[in-house]
A and B are shown apart, each in its own frame.
Chain A
């Protein structure tokens, strides 16, 4: 075959054009794949062919990708890292790969480097991002914490470890208590962090046995430490004890003992099992017996010993001798003032009647002392809801300005108290609100009233009340004004009132009129100062939350598109970023629930095991091993069309701790997504079986059934 010059040219043309087409195709395919992997903000293709709900999901996910881009384009590194992390947590359920990608971005942005204040602030954000990750993927968070500890080195490391774990635990407590407990247990390896007490106290309200177990672990930690920080041990006592005459059970009252400020643990908390108290006393006696060489620690030891002795007489008489011996040994080593009973006169301040208190105040030598005493009485009565005493004390204050402001605050407190305790009748609260002068108290009270009216579907009335609240807020002058206006707008959004649009325009203008510093670190309390005394009256009222996120969330839920436009108008980056996250949440949560409208399909264990893509074996809880709890566990697991576990319930287990361990493990399982023949995803549910055995040496072992080993 002879090829002429012209034919050769034609062949070459053909060759190169086909090569070109091939290259084009390949690059297109690979670009698509990269886009899918990185979630490039590219509108999802061929949406029209998809069923409605899935199209909506894809669009919402795409919108969230765009929001993430917007946040990442901000200047302030801390703001963008934290908010992109929060957005990732919101996105996780619908688009795990992209959420992971965003989390990684947030982590990389905040890798701390150096030891200046900026680096410390960055590492705080880093920890908060890890806490956000823990909600979606606990194992990943654990690995991140471990590697952060390695980075920080040994001595700094254990502190970082403990605080990172306990902060993560705290942030998980609301959503996933068992996993939160896991993190709290991990934190104990690095010491008893101050946030640990917050954690156990909050956990106790949700799951008392778990909180008690954790408390005992902390006590155990102390008993194994060669050098114990007595203040930490003392603080832990607040789990069992409290100050006498406290109104708020969560309050942690500090008291003065000579020149020290220590937690007041003079009274017992009601309902605490004596075994816990015993364990704490035994450990405390041991620890105190060891005697510290540090003078300050010795003083703390003496004070703690002094407060524990009466408890030991009640609960553990056998320990009294030991504690007495400790006190005797310490006596010559601490300042003499500390050893006299008068140093502890504040811890058991006997509660006196309002009458006695008022008389005592009257007898103060000078005007200012009397005013201070009245203010103190007013504050305490205000907290208890005793507004009669409150008003009597207020009228006796001679400082006119303080007295007037106090009158407003008392009225507000009275109104808030009525709404909380007798919500059925709003007339009294309304009368009070109408009598209050324009300002923050009036606005907040009106909002609380509107909230209650709205719940009774008294739409028009509620809208009018919010209007009064807006008016009252306008006369404020500090940065709190913007937030109060925003919560009012959120009320309108909750009422589904179109008035929210005008209100929001005002809110945005108002936020933009303040400098950023005027909008941060706000105190949601009214403070009255007389001489050196500052009395703080929190502006708490049922149903109203002043956090920017919460309020903006309500607005975004009403109309995400409009909220997005408003968010973009915000001048301050951190507010803009926070509002964009709430817009993203609204986009995703407004979606109709995943196509779980078709009931999950039930399969046998064989089917479950065969479609498991990632399995995690439960660990044998130490406690269960000690108690020799063993046997079979049957757990029912449901996974969604994406293969993520969405539901677990223990059907059978030898004990709660074993059941919890299994739940923690199976929640981390992943399954191969299942589809029906028409391509729509299905949820699957089925049972899984595990065997918990203890061998002759007392070692626990968790196994799959023989068939699946």
Chain B
């Protein structure tokens, strides 16, 4: 009797072990293939019929999200702009309860009426804020993740045929203004984000060089957050815009992009 029980026990262990080994060596973990948010992918959310309007703008937000609150001004402009159009609608997605989300939007004074409570992670949204534009078939045509730089905000608006009404002096500075600040000896830091080689050849008086690819790491270690920082680079506005965005998201509060004259570096 005991021998038989022992045998069966051994058999069980053997089966379990071999099952484990077989699973380990022959089966690869199955890939879950849900609808995920990504450019050119189509998305399905219960209760939303994409065909209801020409374009749908989804704004995924979170109550605790710092960059969402910091972007409130932009969402305000976005919501007001879309409200003036008939063929576009704006929907905010939250992981929190709709009532809480409603209070949150009110606090931010963002006039979005259409709120949905969904699991953001199941849609493949890894971080908030995320903004997506979808067409009538639910295909994502444009996607933006994170707090947006001034140029990206303008790009998003123009995709919806809206004009960005943000005053440009909030984030940029003209040569003339810079010159005035320099003559008045206002404390400011001129930040050259080009590579070392062009910087060494020629740069603006008193400028400090941190190449763009090193800025994400070095800014926090070498620059002070409350100082006025004026960024300039070569004539590619995307680069200075990216630098602005890096500093902006790292909590630098007085950052401006220099709008250079035709001949960038004197």
Contacts and interface: CB of A to CB of B under 8 A. Distances in A.
Interface string B222-241: 10000000000000000000
B221 interface: yes
B121 interface: no
19 contacts: A11-B7, A15-B11, A15-B14, A18-B14, A22-B14, A22-B18, A25-B21, A604-B213, A604-B216, A604-B217, A605-B216, A606-B217, A634-B214, A652-B196, A687-B213, A689-B214, A689-B218, A705-B218, A706-B220
B4 interface: yes
Contacts of A291: none
A687 B217 CA distance: 10
Given A605-B216, A606-B216, A705-B220, 20 more contacts: A11-B7, A15-B7, A15-B10, A15-B14, A18-B14, A19-B14, A21-B18, A22-B14, A22-B18, A605-B214, A605-B217, A606-B217, A632-B222, A651-B196, A689-B218, A705-B218, A705-B221, A706-B220, A706-B221, A707-B217
Interface string A4-22: 0000100110110011011
A705 B222 CA distance: 9
B17 interface: yes
Contacts of B218: 632, 689, 705
Contacts of A691: 221
A3 interface: yes
A25 B18 contact: yes
Top 3 closest A-B pairs, CB basis? A15-B7, A605-B217, A18-B14
Contacts of B18: 18, 21-22, 25
Of the four ranges (under 10, 10 to 19, 20 to 34, 35 or more), the interface on chain A belongs to 20 to 34
Contacts of A632: 218, 221-222
Nearest to A14: B11
Contact of B4 (A11, A18, A689): A11
Contacts of A707: 217, 220
A688 to B, nearest CB: 9
A706 B220 CA distance: 8
A8 B216 CA distance: 72
* Chain B interface, DSSP helix/strand/loop, else mixed: helix
A633 B21 CA distance: 49
A654 B222 CA distance: 15
Contacts of A687: 213-214
Interface in B202-219: 213-214, 216-218
Contact of B17 (A22, A605, A706): A22
A693 to B, nearest CB: 11
Contacts of A21: 18
Contacts of B222: 632
Contacts of A651: 196
Interface of B: 4, 7, 10-11, 14-15, 17-18, 21, 196, 213-214, 216-218, 220-222
Contact of A12 (B7, B14, B17, B21): B7
A524 to B, nearest CB: 50
Contact of A3 (B4, B10, B17, B221): B4
A707 B215 CA distance: 13
A709 to B, nearest CB: 10
A21 B18 CA distance: 9
A163 to B, nearest CB: 44
Contacts of A706: 220-221
Contacts of B216: 604-606
A687 B214 CA distance: 8
Interface string A682-709: 0000010101000000000000011100
Interface string A161-205: 000000000000000000000000000000000000000000000
A604 B212 CA distance: 11
B233 to A, nearest CB: 18
Contacts of A22: 14, 17-18
Nearest to B209: A652
A3 B1 CA distance: 11
Nearest to A29: B21
Which residue, of A8, A18, A606, has the highest number of chain B Cβ atoms within 10 A?
A: A18
B217 A689 contact: yes
A228 B218 CA distance: 49
A45 to B, nearest CB: 14
A606 B220 CA distance: 14
A22 B4 CA distance: 19
B4 A8 contact: yes
A653 to B, nearest CB: 12
B11 A18 contact: yes
B249 to A, nearest CB: 13
Contacts of B11: 14-15, 18
A634 to B, nearest CB: 6
Nearest to A708: B217
A11 B216 CA distance: 68
A323 to B, nearest CB: 49
A160 to B, nearest CB: 44
A135 to B, nearest CB: 32
B255 to A, nearest CB: 19
B3 to A, nearest CB: 8
Contacts of B7: 11-12, 15
Interface in A671-689: 687, 689
A18 B11 CA distance: 7
Contacts of B217: 604-606, 689, 705, 707
A707 B221 CA distance: 9
A211 to B, nearest CB: 29
A11 B12 CA distance: 13
Nearest to B17: A22
Nearest to B221: A705
Which residue, of B10, B14, B18, B216, has the highest number of chain A Cβ atoms within 10 A?
A: B14
Contacts of A705: 217-218, 220-221
Interface string A434-450: 00000000000000000
A22 B15 CA distance: 9
A651 B195 CA distance: 11
Interface in A223-260: none
A606 to B, nearest CB: 7
A15 B6 CA distance: 10
Contacts of A606: 216-217
Contacts of A689: 214, 217-218, 221
Interface in A111-126: none
Contacts of A8: 4
A632 B215 CA distance: 13
Interface string A326-361: 000000000000000000000000000000000000
Contacts of B15: 18
B16 to A, nearest CB: 10
A613 to B, nearest CB: 20
Interface in A56-94: none
Interface in A1-58: 3, 8, 11-12, 14-15, 18-19, 21-22, 25, 29
